[in-house]
Amino acid sequence: MMIRHGKTLLSFIGLTLWIVQPVSAAESKTLQIDGSTTVGPLGDAFAEIFKELHPDVSITVKKTGSGDGAAALIDGRCDIAMMSRFMKDKEFQQAVEKGVFPVAHVIAMDGVCVVVHPSNPITELRTEQIRDIYMGKITNWKELGGPDMPIVPVSRDTSSGTYESFHLMVMNNEKMASNVEYVNSNPQAHARVRSTPGAIGYVGIGFLDRYVKTLKIDGIMPTRSTIAKGVYPVSRPLFLFTNGYPKPGSIVHAFCTFYLTEKGQEIIEAKGFVPLTEY
Amino acid sequence: MLWRQIKNIVFTVFCSGSVLLLAAALLFFLVPMIWKGSQAVFFRKTVEFDKMQMELFRRGHPAVLEKITAQTNQARQPALALLDHFSRGVDTTLLSKEARSAYQQFGRHLRYREVSDEEYTRLREEAKDIRDAFLKAVETTDKTEAESFLDLVDAQQNNPSFQDSPFRIVFSLSKDYRQILQDIDLSRRSEYAAELDIVKTEMRKLFGPLPGESVPPLAQDRFGATRWDVAQKHLRYLIYQTKWVPSEQEDHRLIARQIRRDDPEEGIFGKTELAPLFSMVEQNLAAMLQPRPTIYWQYFLDDSTAGHYFGGAGPEILGTLLLTVLSMCFAVPLGVLSAAYLVEYAADGIITRVIRTCINTLAGVPSIVYGLFGLAFFVLMVGKPCILSASLTLGLLVLPVIIRASEEAIRAVPQSYKEASLALGAGKFRTFLTVTLPAAGPGILTGIILSLSRAAGETAPILFAGAVALGPIPNVGLHPKWLFQPTRALSYGCYDITVGDRLAMQVPHNQFGMVMTLILLVLLLNLAAIFLRWRMSRKLQGI
């Protein structure tokens, strides 16, 4: 429960005065986690609890995107890769060639929610309409029964897992038009939609709040139940990937199965994702 | 003559204008950032802040905290009781859970009594019927139906078999619910439920977990509003409901209307018994949270919880200092020696010129290229991303700047100094070490100052080479183990806190605090170096 600042303070003094500090001879266990910015908050939160459960393990969490997570797992730069999409064929191939056998652990469900500015009277869109907006075929809200206002489509950058899910499930792998704005993260997409009356964007379900309006897609609102059941068209699982199934009893195994515990499920809910199991 | 004067004036105006513009731009950028960032350190804390500090950092006086907690709890009690009473009517799960547990306890109670099998079965059946009637009363949205079910329950009230058993709770629950039925419009229950959820969330954000709720696993949910500004924000969210209604103009747009939740006409809870809650919290918020001004200087030492929700930037500051100092340890000797070689030893041939051009080009290479080089070379060389590989990458990044500055400084040392030294019989190397280098010192230091700030602020080179969002605090000592651990750093922390977590959107003071810390750290490093340079040049002048 207690976070020590004493260690930091000591280190400061150590840095300036170079005081000899006793260093334990035993090599402490490390756990390196890398990958998706969407799953990142879960990794952070699990690590917070893990620090209490296993004080001898030093955990590092890095959030550089799903693609980099996969690359890091293949290169052996991390023990666990967080990913908001499944591994691609090419990545699997590379992994196997290097002797790494990726195993997926689904830890939670997420929905990619389409959001607009709250002043927009539109409450519902069909998948084809959203596709047409992002392909540049519909450029004004007037065409959809809204106010006379140009549409500002906002998308995540092409290396993000959220983009991949949207691209596959909504866009049917069609190319986006050149008027689409690309932003680097969920908070940025949220901020752009919040401040622009004509904007439309997509974010993970954890980022919905009072400042943006969530649209129904094909008549279905993204909620806990529609995402858990998979009824919502853009629901997706969130993954942890490991090299082979981790040895039971190892720290990697404990981390990858932590989501099954009651605490793990509570954290998933607290972070705004949808838990898989009933707890 | 006049023309020359005009040109002079124009030149002066333009020069001073650009200086003013620069100063204004600096003010425009730095002042808001430092101002907002300073709110991470100077703010009005609430009792929740003290609780958080006590639990996470073991800081504060338990006795004092206990006293304040008791005072605030007393102030909160009426509001929380009101909320609890009202939610029983809306959130039926609470009541049904209690009825179910009463029935289970009754079963346990019977099992340990000397009753015949027949009696046991009969009592259980009866209790079950009563429980089911109560559950139906709770679930239905029709008031008369609910009352008729409650009548069924109350008919058994005087049944002696239930008098002294745990099951009699059900009758008091029934009485409670009858009371609630008088105040609430059951047909609007689902509407109430959605809004009540928001009210409860905001109450949790203000005062921490509600009474009876279990302790949340994450520190972020374990405390209420730790800061007065945050508390006021959530008070606003608690009281006002934003409704988006069609505007009167013909453009189909919706406009926001703020409606008080307890407004007697339009507010959703205006006609319910929950209405007094809002003004109660509004008027007594200060008593409920006890805000006091504070200086949270430990921000610069404390570790943070996941997503930088609570705590400070201590590990990030330490990491940045380590990276900067270590990278200087690599870059300064190498840079100064190369500069000395280029100026003093190398002949001014084609090769030297090529080398010089290369150095100039390197100084302009984007930092991400260095980052990728660090990943491909240093990380593989050292074995894994860590402090050592990151500072080697940073050292490489600033090397060209240091070489260029040192070269200029060494070249600027008057030839007569060197000649005097050589005439006294000193060798070339000795002359460089004892005469040229000290004289060039201030100039070299300028280069170091420039590169220090750059090394401290760069994100791209350390992104792959050793920076992490969350990791152990380096245990700096003689044992070099800490060199091989990854570290947090301010620059990467600023990036992470902006893009990483939705939580960060809720703690802008910590976002700006991190940025302010980075600016202050760079400023401090610069001031230290400037002071050193001043001392050095004073010594050189023989004062």
Task: Grade residue A27 by pLDDT with cuts at 50, 70 and 90.
Answer: very low
Same domain, B236 and B107: no
Within 8 A of B255 by CB-CB distance, chain A residues are 119
> Which CATH number goes with the domain that contains B351?
1.10.3720.10
Residue A127 has pLDDT above 50, yes or no: yes
Identify whether the C-beta of residue B436 lies closer than 8 Å to the C-beta of residue B398.
no
Same domain, B150 and B286: no
Of B254, B472, B500, the CB nearest to A118: B254
C-alpha–C-alpha distance, residues B273 and A221, integer Å: 32
Residue A7 has pLDDT above 70, yes or no: no
Per-residue pLDDT, A197: 87
Within 8 A of A186 by CB-CB distance, chain B residues are 499, 502
Closest-CA residue of A relative to B55 is A2
- Residue at B10 is within a domain: no
- Residue at B377 is within a domain: yes
CA distances, B431 to each of B416, B536, B541 (Å): 12, 18, 19
pLDDT tens across B51-90, in order? 888 888 888 888 888 898 888 888 888 888 888 888 877 7
* A18/B478 Cβ within 8 A: yes
Neighbours of A216 (CB within 10 A): 16
Tell me what percent of the residues of chain A surpass a pLDDT of 90: 14
- Residue at B521 is within a domain: no
Same domain, B267 and B334: no
Per-residue pLDDT, B480: 78
Closest-CA residue of B relative to A205 is B502
The separation between CA B256 and the C-alpha centre of its own chain, rounded to angstroms, equals: 29
Within 8 A of B51 by CB-CB distance, chain A residues are none
Same domain, B365 and B431: yes
* A187/B498 Cβ within 8 A: yes
For residue A54, give every residue at least 6 positions away whose Cβ sits within 8 Å of its Cβ, in sequence order, or none. Answer: A29, A251, A254
Per-residue pLDDT, A116: 92
Mean pLDDT of B515-519: 90
- Label the pairing between strands A152-156 and A181-183: parallel
Of B217, B501, B504, the CB nearest to A263: B217
Within 8 A of A43 by CB-CB distance, chain B residues are 470
Per-residue pLDDT, B103: 85
Per-residue pLDDT, B12: 92
Same domain, B432 and B463: yes
Of A2, A147, A190, the CB nearest to B56: A2
- Render B372-399 in DSSP notation, one character per residue: HHIIIIIHHHHSSS-HHHHHHHHHHHHH
* B468/A147 Cβ within 8 A: no
* B306/A3 Cβ within 8 A: no
Share the mean pLDDT of chain A: 83
Residue A2 has pLDDT above 50, yes or no: no
Within 8 A of B298 by CB-CB distance, chain A residues are 5
* B470/A60 Cβ within 8 A: yes
CA atoms within 13 A on the CB side of B430: 9
- Residue at B389 is within a domain: yes
- Render B297-356 in DSSP notation, one character per residue: GGGGT--B-GGG-SB--HHHHHHHHHHHHHHHHHHHHHHHHHHHIIIIIS-SSHHHHHHH
What tokens were used for B229?
A: 């500004």
Per-residue pLDDT, B15: 92
Task: Name which of B53, B66, B431, B306 is nearest A51 in CA terms.
Answer: B306
Task: Grade residue A18 by pLDDT with cuts at 50, 70 and 90.
Answer: very low
**Hey, is B362 helix, strand or coil?**
helix
The residue behind tokens 């049917």 is A172
How many Cβ pairs closer than 8 A exist between chain A and B? 175
CA distances, B225 to each of B151, B219, B353 (Å): 44, 13, 63
* A184/B217 Cβ within 8 A: no
Per-residue pLDDT, B195: 83
Rg (CA), chain B: 36
Residue A22 has pLDDT above 50, yes or no: no
* A11/B242 Cβ within 8 A: no
pLDDT tens across A213-223, in order? 899 998 888 88
Closest-CA residue of A relative to B482 is A23
* A41/B315 Cβ within 8 A: no
Identify whether the C-beta of residue A274 lies closer than 8 Å to the C-beta of residue A69.
no
C-alpha–C-alpha distance, residues B167 and B401, integer Å: 82
For residue B1, give every residue at least 6 positions away whose Cβ sits within 8 Å of its Cβ, in sequence order, or none. Answer: none
Q: ipTM exceeding 0.85?
A: no
Same domain, B346 and B420: yes
Same domain, B398 and B288: no
Identify whether the C-beta of residue A220 lies closer than 8 Å to the C-beta of residue A226.
yes
What tokens were used for A136?
A: 């540049």
Within 8 A of B306 by CB-CB distance, chain A residues are 41, 44-45, 47-48
Q: What does chain A come to in residues?
A: 279
* A210/B473 Cβ within 8 A: no
Q: What share of chain A is helix, strand, coil (3-state, %, to 5)?
A: 35, 25, 40
**For the whole model, what pTM was predicted?**
0.79
Task: Name which of B405, B406, B404, B412 is nearest B359 in CA terms.
Answer: B404
Per-residue pLDDT, B543: 57
Identify whether the C-beta of residue A118 lies closer than 8 Å to the C-beta of residue B244.
yes
Residue B18 has pLDDT above 90, yes or no: yes
Residue B499 has pLDDT above 70, yes or no: yes
- Residue at B516 is within a domain: no
Residue A5 has pLDDT above 70, yes or no: no
- Label the pairing between strands A102-116 and A213-214: antiparallel
What tokens were used for B1?
A: 């003559």
Lowest mean pLDDT among A228-242, A263-277, B241-255, B439-453: B241-255
Mean pLDDT of B477-505: 81
Closest-CA residue of A relative to B466 is A62
For residue B77, give every residue at least 6 positions away whose Cβ sits within 8 Å of its Cβ, in sequence order, or none. Answer: none
For residue B323, give every residue at least 6 positions away whose Cβ sits within 8 Å of its Cβ, in sequence order, or none. Answer: B387, B390, B391, B394, B455, B456, B462, B466, B487, B489
Identify whether the C-beta of residue A103 lies closer than 8 Å to the C-beta of residue A96.
no
Identify whether the C-beta of residue A170 lies closer than 8 Å to the C-beta of residue A234.
yes
* B463/A64 Cβ within 8 A: yes
Mutate to test the interface with A, among B218, B300, B389, B487 (most CBs of A within 10 A): B218
CA angle B189, B190, B194 (to 5 degrees): 115
Q: Please name every residue paired with A155 in a beta bridge, in sequence order, or none if there are none.
A: A182
Of A4, A49, A146, the CB nearest to B303: A4
Tell me what percent of the residues of chain A surpass a pLDDT of 70: 89
Q: How many Å from the N-terminal Cα to the C-terminal Cα in chain B?
A: 45
What tokens were used for B376?
A: 């491909």
- Residue at B396 is within a domain: yes
- Render B105-153 in DSSP notation, one character per residue: HHHHHHHTS---HHHHHHHHHHHHHHHHHHHHHHH---HHHHHHHHHHH
Q: Domain ends where: B136, B161, B184?
A: B184
pLDDT tens across B156-182, in order? 777 777 777 778 788 888 887 887 777
Of B302, B496, B502, the CB nearest to A186: B502
pLDDT tens across B83-121, in order? 888 887 777 777 788 888 888 888 888 877 777 888 888
CA distances, A77 to each of A72, A74, B384, B486, B494 (Å): 5, 8, 7, 12, 23
Mutate to test the interface with A, among B470, B478, B488, B497 (most CBs of A within 10 A): B470
- Residue at B403 is within a domain: yes
* B251/A23 Cβ within 8 A: no
* B56/A5 Cβ within 8 A: no
Of B55, B253, B504, the CB nearest to A119: B253
Q: Domain ends where: B130, B154, B184?
A: B184
The residue behind tokens 């720290």 is A251
The separation between CA B158 and the C-alpha centre of its own chain, rounded to angstroms, equals: 58
Residue B9 Cα, gap to closest chain A Cα (Å): 45
C-alpha–C-alpha distance, residues B523 and B516, integer Å: 10
Within 8 A of A14 by CB-CB distance, chain B residues are 476-477
The residue behind tokens 């997503």 is B307
Q: Domain ends where: B139, B156, B184?
A: B184
* A63/B469 Cβ within 8 A: yes
C-alpha–C-alpha distance, residues B210 and B222, integer Å: 10
Dihedral of alpha carbons A162, A166, A172, A173, sign: negative
The overall longest dimension of chain B from CA atoms, in Å, is 126
- Residue at B301 is within a domain: no
Closest-CA residue of B relative to A22 is B477
Residue B118 Cα, gap to closest chain A Cα (Å): 37
Residue A9 Cα, gap to closest chain B Cα (Å): 6
Mutate to test the interface with A, among B245, B302, B473 (most CBs of A within 10 A): B473
Domain count, chain B: 3
What tokens were used for A79?
A: 């023990």
For residue B330, give every residue at least 6 positions away whose Cβ sits within 8 Å of its Cβ, in sequence order, or none. Answer: B391, B392, B395
C-alpha–C-alpha distance, residues B216 and B376, integer Å: 43
Share the mean pLDDT of chain B: 85
Identify whether the C-beta of residue B128 lies closer than 8 Å to the C-beta of residue B103.
yes
Task: Name which of A37, A38, A61 is nearest A49 in CA terms.
Answer: A61
Within 8 A of A59 by CB-CB distance, chain B residues are 470-472
Of A19, A37, A210, the CB nearest to B499: A37
Task: Grade residue B250 by pLDDT with cuts at 50, 70 and 90.
Answer: low
What tokens were used for B509?
A: 């003071």
Same domain, B246 and B391: no
Within 8 A of B493 by CB-CB distance, chain A residues are none
Same domain, B175 and B225: no
pLDDT tens across A248-275, in order? 888 889 888 888 888 888 888 888 888 8
Per-residue pLDDT, B463: 84
Task: Grade residue B190 by pLDDT with cuts at 50, 70 and 90.
Answer: confident
What tokens were used for A130?
A: 């959203």
Lowest mean pLDDT among A18-22, A32-36, B369-373: A18-22
C-alpha–C-alpha distance, residues B134 and B174, integer Å: 7
Dihedral of alpha carbons A59, A60, A63, A67, sign: negative
C-alpha–C-alpha distance, residues B519 and B421, integer Å: 43
Of A11, A20, A40, the CB nearest to B474: A11
Of A2, A23, A270, the CB nearest to B479: A23
Residue A21 has pLDDT above 50, yes or no: no
C-alpha–C-alpha distance, residues A187 and B536, integer Å: 48
* A146/B252 Cβ within 8 A: yes
Lowest mean pLDDT among A24-33, A165-174, A229-238, B151-160: A24-33
* B496/A5 Cβ within 8 A: no
Same domain, B321 and B430: yes
What tokens were used for B348?
A: 């001014």
Task: Grade residue B503 by pLDDT with cuts at 50, 70 and 90.
Answer: confident
B62 vs A4 pLDDT, higher one: B62
Burial class (CB in 10 A: 0-12, 13-18, 19+), B344: middle
Identify whether the C-beta of residue B294 lies closer than 8 Å to the C-beta of residue B43.
yes
- Label the pairing between strands A216-217 and B42-45: unpaired
Highest mean pLDDT among B16-25, B71-80, B200-209: B16-25
Identify whether the C-beta of residue A180 lies closer than 8 Å to the C-beta of residue A155.
yes
Residue A25 Cα, gap to closest chain B Cα (Å): 10
The separation between CA B25 and the C-alpha centre of its own chain, rounded to angstroms, equals: 27
CA angle B341, B365, B26 (to 5 degrees): 105
Residue type, B542: G
Same domain, B343 and B491: yes
C-alpha–C-alpha distance, residues B505 and B499, integer Å: 9
Residue A235 has pLDDT above 90, yes or no: no
C-alpha–C-alpha distance, residues B403 and B362, integer Å: 11
Expressed as residue numbers, the domain containing B162 is 67-184
- Render A132-184 in DSSP notation, one character per residue: HHHTTS--BGGGGTS-S-B-EEEEE-TTSHHHHHHHHHTSTTPPPPTT-EEES
Mutate to test the interface with B, among A21, A44, A141, A213 (most CBs of B within 10 A): A44
B253 vs B73 pLDDT, higher one: B73
Mean pLDDT of B241-251: 77
Task: Name which of B317, B318, B334 is nearest B451 in CA terms.
Answer: B334
Same domain, B369 and B487: yes
